[in-house]
Chains A and B, each alone.
Chain A
Amino acid sequence: AQSVTQLGSHVSVSEGALVLLRCNYSSSVPPYLFWYVQYPNQGLQLLLKYTSAATLVKGINGFEAEFKKSETSFHLTKPSAHMSDAAEYFCAVSDGHDYKLSFGAGTTVTVRA
Chain B
Amino acid sequence: DTAVSQTPKYLVTQMGNDKSIKCEQNLGHDTMYWYKQDSKKFLKIMFSYNNKELIINETVPNRFSPKSPDKAHLNLHINSLELGDSAVYFCASSQSTSGFTGELFFGEGSRLTVL
Contact = CB atoms under 8 A, between A and B. Distances in A.
Nearest to A101: B102
A42 B108 contact: yes
A90 B109 CA distance: 16
A94 B44 CA distance: 13
Contacts of A34: 102-103
Interface stretch (A21-29, A44-52, A68-76): A44-52
Q: How large is the interface on B (under 10, 10 to 19, 20 to 34, 35 or more residues)?
A: 20 to 34
B114 interface: no
Given A99-B31, A103-B42, A49 B103 contact: yes
Given A41-B108, A90-B43, A103-B42, A97 B99 contact: yes
Interface stretch (B48-56, B61-69, B76-84): B48-56
B104 interface: yes
Interface string B73-115: 0000000000000000010100010011111101111000000
Contact of B41 (A45, A97, A105): A105
Contacts of A65: none
